[in-house]
Amino acid sequence: METEMEMRALEATPLSSDLTPPIPPISVALHDKYLASHCTICFRRLSNPSSVTTTLDAYTISLMHSCSACSARVKYCSPNCYAADSNGHVSSGECGLFFLLRSTAEDSTDLRAALRLLHYFECLGILPSPKRHESSGRIGGLLVAGLVEIMEEAGELAERIREGATLMARARHTENFGDFPHEKVSVEEEMLWAVMLNGVEVEIGELGAVGVAVYGPWFSWFNHSCLPNACYRFDLSPHHEELQHEGSGSFKVFPASSGNQGSHVWKRWNFVDSSIVPGLCWFGPRIIIRSIKPLNKSEEVCITYMDLLQPKVMRHLDLWSRYHFICHCKRCCISPQMYIDFILNCDTRSLNCANSTSLNPPLWLLISWRKP
Ligand SMILES: [Zn+2]
Ligand SMILES: [Zn+2]
Ligand SMILES: [Zn+2]
């Protein structure tokens, strides 16, 4: 049974405060359509001259530092990014996956993020049990609960996970892995599920989401609320020459759990200072959590996992289809419903009626909205 984790404020904090330092990812994968135009590890645009320090143009440099084994599907903005990632690109199986998918248009983002995550855990010596029924519900601190039930239901999602995991195993040349014939792709299945549950779309600049990143417990332990008190943003990593001077910063949050094992689990999985991290995704885009409301000391800090401008039914559908949980936050449980949900549910055709009073909520709704 997994431990329920949450993040709480260390002290009373005003709104618009950064609650975490910039957190580097433990796995990244550009969306397929940005592979040709962005650095595969730091997500910088290859045509951006500020990303290189020589007189060669950025595109030429990217060609010099690309992987020839997969016909240059991955490109790097600089010799440093190339040196940091080229080994991981091949060892994780990402290079082999491009070869397997060479004649299909199938998007490989989640599979590549899962391969890199698996490689990261292998490098750290953390591997999930080959027997799924022994799963603790977390790997490397990341939530992977619910997979057994999904696979037993054998629905569309299970089929997607099984097909993806089989491809991953083939890319890693581990399709004959182990003495467990019915569990032979379980490691890949769990990693793919970990990416689906914990991966976050990375939005940098005006392009929208350019890729997916998985951050460690220091991000993934922030729970969802439809009434969040924090948000997150992304930053590109500092340039390589500045990286060594990058301070580790401080967290204004601490982990907690119902079983009071928060700090123990945090210590176990908080490998942010591990010397192995810089060799993997240290150059990847950072994520920073910021308060959007004043916080009391020890108050739980929550972010949102989805679009909040949806009525409750749609929010619940979204959360269930993507994350397989039912939200019991204040906004979902409050009765009567909050003013914002009243507005979202109202018939907007009423807006055309100049004298309509149907948009005026009853007084008790306004009172509930104004309550702190
Ligand atoms: Zn780069
Ligand atoms: Zn390659
Ligand atoms: Zn909710």
Q: State pLDDT tens for residues 244-269.
A: 555 556 889 988 886 655 566 666 66
Residue 203 has pLDDT above 90, yes or no: yes
CA distance 296 to 30: 37
Q: In Å, how far from its chain's centre is CA 195?
A: 7
pLDDT of residue 51: 47
Report how far ligand 1's centroid is from the alpha carbon of 79 (Å).
Answer: 8
Q: Which two tokens stand for residue 125?
A: 């010596």
Report how far ligand 3's centroid is from the alpha carbon of 362 (Å).
Answer: 23
pLDDT band at 276 (very low <50, low <70, confident <90, very high): very low
Q: Give strand pairing partners of 29.
A: 212
Residue 239 has pLDDT above 90, yes or no: no
pTM score above 0.85: no
CA distance 63 to 209: 24
Report how far ligand 2's centroid is from the alpha carbon of 63 (Å).
Answer: 13
Query: Strands, DSSP E only, in 67-170?
Result: 138-139, 142-143
Q: Please tell me which of 47-56, 128-137, 168-177, 301-310 the model is most confident about, judged by mean pLDDT.
A: 301-310
CA distance between the termini of the chain: 35
Cα 113 to Cα 50, 116, 118, 159, 193: the distances in Å are 27, 5, 9, 19, 11
Residues with CB in 5 Å of ion ligand 3? 226, 327, 329, 332
CA distance 16 to 69: 46
Residues with CB in 5 Å of ion ligand 1? 39, 42, 77, 81
Q: Tell me the ligand closest to 66's alpha carbon.
A: 2
Report how far ligand 2's centroid is from the alpha carbon of 93 (Å).
Answer: 9
The DSSP output letter for 328 is -
Q: Tell me the ligand closest to 97's alpha carbon.
A: 2
Helix H or strand E segment including 303? strand 302-303
Whether the CB-CB separation of 168 and 117 falls below 8 Å is answered with: no
Q: Is the dihedral of CA 239, 85, 117, 108 positive or negative?
A: positive
Complete DSSP assignment for 226-287: SS-SEEEEEEPPPPHHHHTT------SEEEEETTS-HHHHHHHH--TT-TTGGGTTTTSPEE
Residues 61-100 have pLDDT tens digits of: 656 678 888 888 899 988 888 888 988 999 999 999 999 9
Q: Tell me the ligand closest to 69's alpha carbon.
A: 2
* Domain residue ranges of the chain, discontinuous segments joined by +: 313-370
Whether the CB-CB separation of 305 and 224 falls below 8 Å is answered with: yes
Q: Torsion-angle region of residue 324: left (phi > 0), alpha (psi -120 to 50) or beta?
A: left
Q: Please tell me which of 67-76, 167-176, 292-301 the model is most confident about, judged by mean pLDDT.
A: 292-301
Q: Tell me the ligand closest to 82's alpha carbon.
A: 1
pLDDT band at 328 (very low <50, low <70, confident <90, very high): very high
